[in-house]
Structure 1
Amino acid sequence: MSMPFTIREFLDVFARYNTAIWPFQLVMTAAALGAVVMALRGGRGRLVGAYLVAQWAWTGVVYHWLFFSAINPAARGFAILWLAGALAFAWAGLWKGRLVFRTTSPPRLIVGTLLIAYALVVYPILGHFDGRAYPFSPTYGAPCPVTILTFGLLWLARPPLSRFLLIAPVLWAAVGSVGAFSLDVREDLGLLVAGVSGIVLALLPAPQPRAEEPREVQGA
């Protein structure tokens, strides 16, 4: 699939974006680490939800609408998708309090931790060794690493998970995976794996409540 821009133009967008927002990338990375720590500690996820709302809104408005739209006419549509994702996290995580963390499932914990580690550690390392030096590289806050980390956090959530929270991340995983192949951005191939994991997460059955054991009748 051909893109309406070249790889050079794509990387130039990152250079302009990174230069304009520096050092806010560091703030976003610190906020992401804080959200991960809170998710691992467990409890009601309103602070994690607030982080996801802010991050998805930032990426939608600042990256897509203000920067990426300069070379891609579809970027404003992408911005709307990201703002819809932010609204979903606001409704479930802040308004309804449906994000609860500290899963007791080892497989969920492993998948979530691996995705988070990929987004924050492996992703920038792969970009560096692929010859994309700062500022011509996606830093944390760019769509793909944010989406991968989002899937990681949702894997850490205690089921049942509101499945509509996965709609925007899965849709972006599909869009970003196409771009990864077309532009040969190999670190973004992790987005394909993350997207598949999101579909698996959506299809997992909700856990059934345990039946209470019958109590002994006194004096029987």
Structure 2
Amino acid sequence: MDLLSYSLVDLIPFSRETYFRLFERYNVGVWPAPIIGLAIGLTALFTARRVEGKVLRAPFLLTAACWVWIGWVFQIHWHAPLSWPGTYFGIGFVLQGALMGVVLGWRPLAGAPEGTHRDPGPALWILVFALALQPLLGLVSGRPWYGLEVFGSAPDPTALATLGLLLMIRHPLRWLLSIIPLAWCLISGATLWVLSVPTWPIMPLAAALYLGVAVWPRVLGRGELE
């Protein structure tokens, strides 16, 4: 298969209505997974705090499990029958979950240095947006409440929340754990742009915000890009 022969439109062979309907069918089909995912997200939000300079591992391990779920269940079993790249997206999501579990699950996590631009405002803003505001933006696009995308069961809010969590820690492999969430922000933005969804800039802008917050301390000479 020559991927270079495909245009972006070829990779998205469905309409906006079909895409929205996918999430409606998925949410109903896996119920109550969306509620469980949202509960996991709220747990991650309220446990992603410092304890004597460390960040608890629980929110990262819970989020890792959500990546595996979305990759295997949503991407491979629901999205892939609609669009063949879904299989590759699913592999990427499962890989992200495995990486987070292995890299972040075996030792305490150091929090971002006090007094830097990484601590803690932007991270919390991204988390709150992903958990509470982003799902509600679906209503702007005319989607019913049972078709909204929520953390833990849908890719977009889960990827955004992951970036927020990663901003809270210092880790030599943080850049590695950022690659797939950042890539998904661009893929999602491109998909929504092709489908003429008015909220398409949100994911690319969130990726740009993450990169700006992560890189800015190094530009100022106040910290290392970790």
Shared fold, TM over 0.5: yes
In structure 1, stretches of 5+ residues that fail to align are 209-220
Residue aligned with 1:181, SS: helix
Q: 1:136 to 1:34 in 2, by over 3 A?
A: closer
Output the amino acid matched with 1:176. S
Output the amino acid matched with 1:162. R
Q: Which residue of 2 is the match for residue 36 of structure 1?
A: 45
* Contact 1:163–1:202 (Cα < 8 Å) also in 2: no
Output the amino acid matched with 1:60. G
Distance in structure 1 (CA, Å) of the matches to 2:38 and 2:168: 18
Equivalent of 1:200 in 212, 220, 224: 212
Q: Which residue of 2 is the match for residue 11 of structure 1?
A: 20
Q: Which residue of 2 is the match for residue 52 of structure 1?
A: 63
What TM-score results when the alignment is normalised by the length of structure 1? Answer: 0.84
Distance in structure 2 (CA, Å) of the matches to 1:31 and 1:121: 13
Cα distance, 1:131 vs structure 2: 1.2
In structure 2, stretches of 5+ residues that fail to align are 1-7
Q: 1:182 to 1:158 in 2, by over 3 A?
A: same
* Contact 2:122–2:213 (Cα < 8 Å) also in 1: no
Q: Which residue of 2 is the match for residue 61 of structure 1?
A: 72
Alignment of 1:172 onto 2:181: no
Cα distance, 1:136 vs structure 2: 3.0
* RMSD after superposition: 2.2
Q: 1:188 to 1:143 in 2, by over 3 A?
A: farther
Distance in structure 2 (CA, Å) of the matches to 1:103 and 1:31: 26
Look at both structures and tell me which one has the larger radius of gyration over its CA atoms: 1
Paired residues for 1:1-220 under 5 Å: 1-2=8-9, 3-42=12-51, 43-95=54-106, 97=107, 99-101=109-111, 104-105=114-115, 107-108=117-118, 109-140=120-151, 141-158=153-170, 162-200=174-212, 203=215, 205=218, 207=223
* Contact 2:136–2:148 (Cα < 8 Å) also in 1: no
Output the amino acid matched with 2:223. P
What TM-score results when the alignment is normalised by the length of structure 2? Answer: 0.82
Cα distance, 1:102 vs structure 2: 6.5
